[in-house]
Structure 1
Amino acid sequence: MNVSYQWLKEYLDLSKVTPDALADKMSRTGIEIEDVAIPETGLKKIVVGHAVVVVDHPDSDHLHVCQVDIGEEELSQIVCGAPNIAAGQKIIVALPGSRITGNAKIKKGKMRGQVSNGMVCSLAELGFSEKVIPKKYADGIYILPEDAVAGKPVFPYLAMDDAILELSITPNRADALSMRGVAHEVGAIYDQQPKFPSFELTEDESDSVENYLKVVVENSQDTPSYTIRIVKDVKVAESPMWLQTKLMNAGIRPLNNVVDITNYILLEYGQPLHAFDYDQLQSKEIVVRKADDGEALTTLDGEEHSLTSEDIVITNGSVPVALAGIMGGLDSEIEDTTVTVAIEAAVFNPISVRKTAKRYNLRSESSSRFEKGINLSTITTAGDHAAALIAELAGGTVVAGTSSQSVLEIQDKVVSITLNRINRSLGTTITIEEVKAIFDRLGFSVVEKEGLFEVAIPPRRWDIEIEADLVEEVARIFGYDNLPSTLPISPAQPAALDNKQRLVRHTRRFLEGAGLSQAISYVLTTPEKATQYMMRESKTTQLEMPMSEDRSTLRMNLLSGLLDNVSYNKARKNKNVALYEIGRVFYKEESQVLPIEEEHLAGVLTGSLLEKDWKGQPKKVDFFVLKGILEGLTASYGLTEKITFVVDKQRDGMHPGRTAAVYLGEKEIGFVGQIHPLAAKAYELDETYGFELNLQAIVEAEKESTVYEAIPKFPGMTRDIALLVDKTITNQQLVDLIYKKGGKYLANVRLFDIYQGENIEEGKKSMAYTLSYLNPTATMVEEEVSKAYDKVTSALIEEYQVVVR
């Protein structure tokens, strides 16, 4: 929720409170402020201009040469390509030397031979997002109101000198999804009672709503309250500047005065409204009911939906005209020709609204508020205020009366709590008078008798129901910083790491020593990403009520989350990324209720592990770099069973020629290789390598005891061997055979060269190894090494028909 500081000042005295101080205070009392932004920051020398003369450019079919009054003695010539520029308009002008969005500097120049002293700006060039620019000006420049003064800074007219507080609203504080709700919160913090401007609703007593519509609600549990007001003789037009800027600063696109008023009321009261073109309803009856299976509705976004019997719809008695609480129908939208408006103010079942919004992926400002709850005491007030504003700004006449059906009983909720409970929970010694003052600041009526408080909670705070909620309210206003800090008293227990903790810590140290950084990804992801890079068959585990579609499914791999992290870094010009993650994945069998949790280890490399320096250029990571890291890591575990790498050409999402399955003994525990180019493209990545291992299997595997040995006193010997082999034979096969036949003093085998190309016959490759021999108890002699070396050579020739070069 974006909250305008200037709008908030209409309700409270904040003359001595800066936006930053307000943000800090609110964050300390329970509503986190993500950011405080002033839209004009970074922009300068942008003023109001008056287009006095506009003529076509002599050498262009789309440019215009404009003589613009910018508050100086002489007119300034500016060349403009906007299709909607015309003489007499008040426009936005960036003067020579000005800065527009992106820190771009505007200079004096020429366009096709004509001097241009600056630039005529659109809202996008001032930093406004495309999704909030009024539709009328989406493809051109913005036209300022006629009373804008040429030469004056443009920022006050566009409310760009306002401070926008970005609130991070938790589900339990949905009351702060409105300006009035935030005003009550800020008023409690600064011990003020917000003052909301009154409005006057004048009805045409000669006409009655009964002449227009009758409301029928089939199920009061689905729709506890539904009200319609009629405003006739409406003139649909552009909204006034103050209304447009309030909507844009809140992240909502202005459309026309009628729709903008409903959005304004949504922001002020937190009450979603919907405006129908009455004549397009083609009925004198509104019926709210469940949809029939297969019933069709085309919503305002132009999408046609096949509805189900779980959806609540607004109908004209026969066909749906709106999806209740989510989005209106295209056939009854407000258009320039609309004359009579029907204003809907209602409350719908939050669970049904959420399920429908999720089913059709139609999350809206209205649905988010119905899902989390609304202030039931202001439903009709919000509708009345909207009608009064439409009469004022659109020249309409409000028809007398409302057509409604409601089963709501609006009353304060009473919650009891004792002073002893408050102090015991908070560790404080707050007095009765202090508690009463806190409840008074919150706007809660309270009756106290012998330390027992009977607190009346107004409907605007529907989140408060039990004692613990009152304790939290007292703590917030009293100040979390003022609560005493104490340490728990408990007997000391000797601490020790278990086997899993030791292995995890060792893994972190090893990988960080190899140049990787630890990442922590979300456990919840999309259904598509949850099923990528799976290491076993499993059903997905999905939340019944996820916060968003992107966080709806428990992950079954770590790699997709790491690829998201790499993509995030690459988008910010960080091309060398090396990450690892240790975390749980969640598998689910057909008959299981709860998923199986399994510890995994995954890593991703892209770019280079080394930076360019005086020693030379960095080398890009490849399959062997990542495989080498894994070999070193698994070797350090001291596993009794051998880790082997086997070619894997079938794994989804991985390159078929650069991927290997990882085996512990006979059991597959993971994979390593290059991310398939198509998968990398989907994540907007360059050549990227990754791995994922079942860390749980490694934790549970048998390990050799750690035995410390003295440094050998005797020198070892080495022999090099170069082999010409079929290209189908793998390094692992050769190394396994060398170790098998190399004798008891063979300590290490290292591949140091591989070659294919000129002077090597087709279908062959040359592989060169260094064999290291060491006798820890005596000096090696040539005969011992030669004998062992000959056995290896003979075995290689016999087994793989190699040619020793």
Structure 2
Amino acid sequence: MFVSYKWLQEYVDLSGISPVELAEKITKSGIEVEGVEKKSEGIKGVVIGHVLEKVKHPEADKLNICQVDLGQETPVQIICGAPNVDKGQKVAVATVGAVLPGNFKIKKAKLRGEESNGMICSLQELGIEPKVVAKDYSSGIFVFPSEAEAGQDALSLLGLDDAILELGLTPNRADAMSMLGVAYEVGAILGREVKWPEISEHSSSEEASGYISVKVDAKEDNPLYVAKVIKDVKIGPSPLWMQTLLMNSGIRPHNNIVDITNYVLLEYGQPLHAFDYNKIGSKEILVRRASEGEKIVTLDEAERTLKADHLVITNGTDPIALAGVMGGANSEVDTDTTTVLLESAYFTGGVIRKASKDHGLRSEASSRYEKGVDPNRVRQAAERAADLMAQYAGGTVLNGSVTADALQIEPAVVSITLEKINRVLGTHLQMDQVQSIFKRLQFTVDVSGDEITVTVPTRRGDITIEEDLIEEVARLFGYDNLPLTLPVAETGPGGLTSYQLKRRKVRSFLEGAGLYQAVTYSLTTNEKANQYALETADTIRLAMPMSEERSTLRLSITPQLLEILKYNIARQNDSIAIYETGSVFLKNGEHELPVEKEHLAGALTGLWHSQLWQGEKKPVDFYVAKGVLEGLFSVLGISEAVSYHPAAIPGMHPGRTAEIKLNGEAVGFVGQIHPKVQKDMDLKETFVFELSLQSVLKVHVEPISYTSIPRFPSITRDIALVVDRETAAGQIYSVITEAGGKLLKEVSVFDLYEGERMEQGKKSIAFSLKYLDPERTLTDEEVTKAHNKVLKTVEEKTGAALRA
């Protein structure tokens, strides 16, 4: 709903309140103002010009040389290319130095050798949307009424000095789809009275009932129909002020009769329709449901086929309007119209919405009928429109109205206690404060003890229960004034569980390490369901699968990640690192739901690091994949509990795969995909890992403890041990760590030698050992003693010999 600030001032006093301040107050009271637009913002220097003379440009067929009076001592010469410019017109002129929308500045210029001192403007050039410009001026300049004075501010005459508030209405606030409805809202907010438009009384020697009769067959759809007759109208343009108000509200002006019906629609929120009385073809109006397949040509010149649940206005036989949506072309008001039949009716929302939706016709009228109009404004709106037609179309309003009235709508009466209002809102309002709020809303209030009985006007059809009254009190008292309280509950505010926090930490780390998150289907083929599974179990097949590709619940995530790699590599995206956290499903008996466990899986292929300028390229290998996991375990604080052991897993490389154990329990694997699998899937060297995320995240981790930086120096000893080639470095590492005691702080592998000088079946592994006591400086004797113990234990448990 577009609301003109200047127009609103006609109904409620806005003195001392700027458009922006008003918008803020309306928003705080519960109706969002989505924006405030100052139409003339950025425009200046546009005045009314009087075209004194027009001659053809000697060097251009489509240009005219105009002498224009701008209210100054001498006229100015302006070159204009508009096809409808002519002598005697009053037009909008952007003078030299003026600024138009888009920061377009007007300067003196020469066009084909002739001087031009300004620009005669169309409405579009002044920033008015083409869709709301009257058709007569859609391809040329706008011509002002003759009473406009040369030199007068054109922006003011066009209503461009106005501010337009755009209200974002919710469906329940149909009352605010009219200027009077908004005036009631603003009056309540500001505590000011609402002024209704004055309607003059008209008398005639003729009665409207002598010209038309009204009958309604579909009373449930149309309980009230009002018809008025206005004779001797003269069709022409509506007053400029009315045209500008319509354009600012997003409606295109047509002629005085149609514009008046649209003006009253915006003012009262009551849709109206004007028929050319002489085209109706009878003295009867019959409102009925359409016959199935019946046809009508609407005002947009489209032939429409009707259904039995559409409501039509007929001349007793043929449809002349699709009720509440659009009139028929066969009764359209045009330049030859002399007598108008004015319709004002109350149609129920459901039947109008059905027709509007079926025909794709969403109009200002239908939108209001769908949300609900005020039944008490039907007659008032008709009288207002008839009065305006007498004023601005020279018409004679015939006595009386012809009505079909079966309407039975009473104002809602709702009772509530002051105690409940205060209890729900947490306030301590007094009775006089609550009464004042309802009276500002123009509600009738009766008080009996602590009980308040409110009679709600029919314009506020959204108020029917106690909670609606509480909302009205809250928003007009001010949401900002409501007391703040914390929720009362047995537990504190909600938060993430320890498991959820750790899962977020896992995702954050992996994405920080360069892996992208993938989300794959939990359903796969029966053949792939068991591949790379951490636990052996029977597969679970859907009773009615969509396809064989998605027929079985997965036991592992790795096969789906390999499919993603295959898809990307086929499209030349060959360096990929992805991970997924998701569920796998283990069968739990024939008639039981499966056990659902969360896993973490990752897949890496291609280059892990590339610096082409330095000529560095590092492909993914086993240690990259293992390093990612080691970093993850470090973040989770479980590095000390994790160990890696050689493993033979179907589908994995026999020499480049490790089983991962956590506190001695197997929780996953890491390694390279078997070369045969890689070849079958057209993959390069690909490394994967999969973990039971549940097992990893449920491990109890001691709180982090910190130690100060040592004040005393450490002593490092390096040893090279000759062992059998099958002996794992991790095994020796564990023995050294255990034997080193409290003085041994760090152990690391720094060399592996299996060259020609090494005995057949043997290898040399070099370790660096760091000894430290944080309380004192160690002596050589103490380090030697601890170091010899390590060498002896390693020799006894692994058969290692110190390399000469």
Tell me if TM exceeds 0.5.
yes
Report 1:490-505 matches (<5 A).
490-492=489-491, 495-497=495-497
Give me the whole-angstrom Cα distance separating, in 2, the residues matched to 1:117 and 1:508.
66
| Cross-structure match for 1:352 | 351
Partner amino acid, structure 2, of 1:259: V
Superposed CA deviations along residues 503-547 of structure 1, whole A, max 9, x for unmatched, are 578668877997999xxxxxxxxxxxxxxxx999xxxxxxxxxxx
Give me the whole-angstrom Cα distance separating, in 2, the residues matched to 1:510 and 1:138.
61
Give me the whole-angstrom Cα distance separating, in 2, the residues matched to 1:117 and 1:17.
40
Give me the whole-angstrom Cα distance separating, in 2, the residues matched to 1:10 and 1:49.
29
| Cross-structure match for 1:703 | 599
Give me the whole-angstrom Cα distance separating, in 2, the residues matched to 1:322 and 1:496.
60
Pick closer, same or farther for the CA change 1:509–1:770 going to 2, 3 Å. closer
Deviation at 1:420, TM superposition (A): 0.8
Structure 2: tracts of 5 or more residues without a match: 524-542, 545-554, 585-594, 603-616, 622-648, 659-669, 676-681, 689-727, 731-748, 757-804
Contact (CA 8 Å) 1:718, 1:771: kept in 2 or not?
no
Contact (CA 8 Å) 1:419, 1:453: kept in 2 or not?
yes
Contact (CA 8 Å) 2:289, 2:309: kept in 1 or not?
yes
| Cross-structure match for 1:386 | 385
Partner amino acid, structure 1, of 2:563: F
Give me the whole-angstrom Cα distance separating, in 2, the residues matched to 1:516 and 1:180.
57
| Cross-structure match for 1:417 | 416
Contact (CA 8 Å) 1:201, 1:387: kept in 2 or not?
no
Deviation at 1:719, TM superposition (A): 9.1
Task: Point out the more displaced range, 506-515 or 439-448.
Answer: 506-515
Give me the whole-angstrom Cα distance separating, in 2, the residues matched to 1:109 and 1:503.
70
Q: Are 1:401 and 2:408 counterparts?
A: no
Partner amino acid, structure 2, of 1:97: G
SS in 1 for 2:447: strand
SS in 2 for 1:459: coil
Contact (CA 8 Å) 2:515, 2:579: kept in 1 or not?
no
Pick closer, same or farther for the CA change 1:768–1:212 going to 2, 3 Å. same
Report 1:659-698 matches (<5 A).
none
Partner amino acid, structure 2, of 1:15: S
SS in 2 for 1:184: helix
Deviation at 1:152, TM superposition (A): 2.7
Deviation at 1:741, TM superposition (A): 7.2
SS in 1 for 2:562: strand
Deviation at 1:124, TM superposition (A): 0.6
Give me the whole-angstrom Cα distance separating, in 1, the residues matched to 2:282 and 2:573.
65
SS in 2 for 1:77: strand
Give me the whole-angstrom Cα distance separating, in 2, the residues matched to 1:303 and 1:184.
39
Question: Structure 2 length normalisation: TM-score?
Answer: 0.67
Partner amino acid, structure 1, of 2:25: K
Contact (CA 8 Å) 1:201, 1:385: kept in 2 or not?
no
Give me the whole-angstrom Cα distance separating, in 2, the residues matched to 1:268 and 1:496.
53
Q: Are 1:426 and 2:410 counterparts?
A: no
Give me the whole-angstrom Cα distance separating, in 2, the residues matched to 1:176 and 1:535.
50
| Cross-structure match for 2:72 | 72
Superposed CA deviations along residues 742-765 of structure 1, whole A, max 9, x for unmatched, are 74489669x9xxxxxxxxxxxxxx
Give me the whole-angstrom Cα distance separating, in 2, the residues matched to 1:703 and 1:266.
63
Partner amino acid, structure 2, of 1:18: S
Pick closer, same or farther for the CA change 1:501–1:333 going to 2, 3 Å. farther
Deviation at 1:438, TM superposition (A): 1.3
Give me the whole-angstrom Cα distance separating, in 1, the residues matched to 2:179 and 2:454.
24
Partner amino acid, structure 1, of 2:131: K
| Cross-structure match for 2:171 | 171
Pick closer, same or farther for the CA change 1:126–1:782 going to 2, 3 Å. farther
Equivalenced residues, count = 595
| Cross-structure match for 2:561 | 643
Give me the whole-angstrom Cα distance separating, in 2, the residues matched to 1:720 and 1:441.
74
Whichever of the two has the greater Rg, that structure is 2
Report 1:163-562 matches (<5 A).
163-204=163-204, 206-409=205-408, 411-492=410-491, 495-497=495-497
Give me the whole-angstrom Cα distance separating, in 1, the residues matched to 2:565 and 2:156.
66
Give me the whole-angstrom Cα distance separating, in 1, the residues matched to 2:510 and 2:4.
50
Give me the whole-angstrom Cα distance separating, in 2, the residues matched to 1:503 and 1:639.
17
Structure 1: tracts of 5 or more residues without a match: 518-533, 537-588, 591-636, 670-698, 707-716, 722-735, 752-765, 785-805
Partner amino acid, structure 2, of 1:319: D
Report 1:727-766 matches (<5 A).
740=653, 743-744=656-657
Deviation at 1:129, TM superposition (A): 0.7
Superposed CA deviations along residues 442-466 of structure 1, whole A, max 9, x for unmatched, are 1111111111111111112121111
Contact (CA 8 Å) 1:44, 1:100: kept in 2 or not?
yes
Pick closer, same or farther for the CA change 1:516–1:25 going to 2, 3 Å. farther
SS in 1 for 2:78: strand
Contact (CA 8 Å) 1:313, 1:322: kept in 2 or not?
yes
Partner amino acid, structure 2, of 1:269: Y
SS in 2 for 1:48: strand
Partner amino acid, structure 1, of 2:286: V
SS in 2 for 1:171: coil
Give me the whole-angstrom Cα distance separating, in 2, the residues matched to 1:275 and 1:509.
70
Deviation at 1:771, TM superposition (A): 10
Deviation at 1:642, TM superposition (A): 4.7
Pick closer, same or farther for the CA change 1:502–1:744 going to 2, 3 Å. closer
Superposed CA deviations along residues 157-207 of structure 1, whole A, max 9, x for unmatched, are 011111111111111111000000111111111111111231113131x22
| Cross-structure match for 1:695 | none
Contact (CA 8 Å) 2:579, 2:601: kept in 1 or not?
no
Deviation at 1:77, TM superposition (A): 1.0
Give me the whole-angstrom Cα distance separating, in 2, the residues matched to 1:286 and 1:218.
11
SS in 2 for 1:172: coil
Give me the whole-angstrom Cα distance separating, in 1, the residues matched to 2:513 and 2:91.
59
Give me the whole-angstrom Cα distance separating, in 2, the residues matched to 1:429 and 1:720.
69
Contact (CA 8 Å) 2:583, 2:597: kept in 1 or not?
no
Contact (CA 8 Å) 2:583, 2:598: kept in 1 or not?
no
Contact (CA 8 Å) 1:108, 1:118: kept in 2 or not?
yes
Q: Are 1:95 and 2:95 counterparts?
A: yes
SS in 1 for 2:128: coil
SS in 2 for 1:216: strand
Contact (CA 8 Å) 1:639, 1:701: kept in 2 or not?
no
Superposed CA deviations along residues 734-793 of structure 1, whole A, max 9, x for unmatched, are xx99964774489669x9xxxxxxxxxxxxxx9987999xx9747566799xxxxxxxxx
Superposed CA deviations along residues 463-490 of structure 1, whole A, max 9, x for unmatched, are 1111111111111211111111111122
Deviation at 1:398, TM superposition (A): 1.2
Partner amino acid, structure 2, of 1:350: G
| Cross-structure match for 2:539 | none
Pick closer, same or farther for the CA change 1:335–1:744 going to 2, 3 Å. same
Question: Structure 1 length normalisation: TM-score?
Answer: 0.67
Q: Are 1:85 and 2:85 counterparts?
A: yes
SS in 2 for 1:461: coil
**RMSD over aligned Cα, in angstroms?**
4.0
Contact (CA 8 Å) 1:133, 1:248: kept in 2 or not?
yes
Partner amino acid, structure 2, of 1:30: G
SS in 1 for 2:107: coil
Contact (CA 8 Å) 1:231, 1:341: kept in 2 or not?
yes
